[in-house]
Amino acid sequence: MESADIDAPPETIAQRPLAIRLGAVAVVAAIVGVVVGGGGSFLLLRHFYSTAPAQVTIRTTTSGGGSKTTSLSSVVAQVALSVVEVVRQRGSSQPSASSTSDGFVASSTGLIVTSEGAVAGAAGVEVVLPSGTVLPATIAAADAATGVVVLQVSTTTLPPALTFAASTPLGAAVVAVSLPLGGTASVDVGTVSEIGLTATVPDPAASSGTAVVDGMLRTDAPEPQGSSGGPLVNTAGQVIGIMTGQRMQPQGQGSSAAAFGFGLDASFANYLVQAIAVTGGGPKPVGLVARWLTPASGAATGLPSGAEVLAVSPGSAASAAGLQVGEVVTAVDGSAVLGSGAPRFPDLTDLLISYGPAAVVAITAVKAGVTQQLSLTLPAG
């Protein structure tokens, strides 16, 4: 078994206007809590600081009694360079002309991941790179169930794209990198305490009311106001979540849960980025795009749980099977796509292609309360 101590200052990164560079921090540590999970115990240290060389480290003790210290300073520098500002232009009837949130570069082709709250109600969206370059952006994909939005910008001078983590273990160290309002980037470090949560959040598309969001993770890393859309990364600099910039209440838990911050589902953001990259040059092998609807998110939209079909490519296997936009696939070969004992693949296409090339798969789909049985033949290769 391994245990790890996190030396984690809420580090401030000094910057010229929109040009990030690492600043300096002198640390005085104070223990504020112990978090246990993921096969090891994490001693969380909070720090107060002035100016001196920056240090963000994690100390790991192995089962043999040895230890190693990994500096996160290079990870912080790498991630901060890929964080952008997302400027939401409001309509003339709204009291404020614009507002800013965070986002991060997710591909070399101009895809920027952010949160739904960063763009909700926008009359227009712009992305400001660390260099200060301002780029008009369009919404390439948005998923209400997970709160994830992918923007598209056109430029040949993007910062490096961040990569997505393959998994997010409980107890893992998490680094929150944000550009809060005021122009000074900041870094906060904590741990992942829960994953796969369904949370009730303020509805970003309305001035009042709430929305249900799936697949969230809970972390004790502070999230400053204005950090919505920024990346939560692991110690390798890989994205494991997307900040909401809010303290939110997970469903079915007491009021004490409001003291924690929550991140959006980075795995679904990764899927959207990959799907856009593929469909930009041709359809995915099955020719559909769908989103998962859990019982909670389905109930919020009046739909059954399953995979809601968002797009079907003409001439594809999905089109030939008769799948239509708006249908919810509830079962494949007689097994529920979601629910107790059902495997949850990253997306419906991954579930379907797991049956193998040229397989004939039975699909149960529901639309407007009507259930139909379809037969889908997967591409041969």
CATH (domain of 338): 2.30.42.10
Q: Are residues 95 and 152 in the same domain?
A: yes
Q: Is position 52 within any domain?
A: no
Mean pLDDT for the stretch of residues 106-120: 88
- Is there a single domain that holds both residue 103 and residue 235? yes
- Residue 44 lies inside a defined structural domain of this protein: no
Say if residue 278 is in the same domain as residue 320: no
**Alpha-carbon gap, residue 164 to 266, rounded angstroms:** 7
User: Is pLDDT larger for residue 170 or for residue 227?
Assistant: 170
At 99 the pLDDT is: 74
Residues 198, 306 share a domain? no
Helices (H), the chain: 73-80, 116-119, 266-279, 295-301, 317-321, 348-353
- pLDDT range class, residue 158, cuts 50, 70, 90: very high
Q: What is the CATH number of the domain that holds 171?
A: 2.40.10.120
What is the reported pLDDT for 82?
A: 93
Rounded CA-CA distance 269/157 in Å is 22
Q: Mean pLDDT throughout 160-173?
A: 87
d(CA 107, CA 176) in angstroms, rounded, equals: 20
Average pLDDT, the chain: 71
228 and 313 inside one domain: no
Whether 13 is in a domain gets the answer: no
Q: Which of 338, 313, 326, 311 is nearest to 372 (CA)?
A: 326
Q: State whether 265 and 292 are in the same domain.
A: no
How far apart CA 150 and CA 152 sit, in angstroms, is: 7
CA distance 70 to 253: 35
In a domain, 53, yes or no: no
Bin 121: left if φ > 0, else alpha if -120 < ψ < 50, else beta: left
- One domain, residues 288 and 275: no
pLDDT number for residue 47? 27
- Residue at a domain's end among 254, 282, 310: 282
Tell me what pLDDT residue 49 has.
Answer: 24
What does R_g of the chain's alpha carbons equal in angstroms? 22
Residue at which a domain ends, from 258, 282, 306: 282
C-alpha–C-alpha distance, residues 70 and 53, integer Å: 16
Contacts of 325 (CB under 8 A, 6+ apart): 309, 310, 311, 312
Residues 315, 355, single domain; the answer is yes
- Residue 367 belongs to a domain: yes
Kindly state whether residues 92 and 227 are assigned to the same domain: yes
36, pLDDT greater than 60? no
pLDDT > 90: what percent of the chain? 20
Final residue belonging to a domain, choices 282, 308, 323: 282
With respect to residue 344, please indicate whether it lies within any of the assigned structural domains. Answer: yes
302 inside domain: yes
The parent domain of residue 288 ranges over 283-377
Same-domain pairing of 192 and 95: yes
Please tell me whether residues 210 and 296 are part of one structural domain.
no
pLDDT value at residue 320: 96
Q: What is the Cα–Cα distance from 209 to 314, expressed in whole angstroms?
A: 38
Residue 155 lies in a domain: yes
Task: Check residue 186 and give its pLDDT.
Answer: 77
What is the average pLDDT across 288-309? 82
86 or 29, which is more confident: 86
Structural domain count, the chain:
2
Phi-psi region of 299 (alpha: psi -120 to 50; beta: other; left: phi over 0): alpha
Q: Does one domain contain both 250 and 120? A: yes
CB 329 within 8 A of CB 337: yes
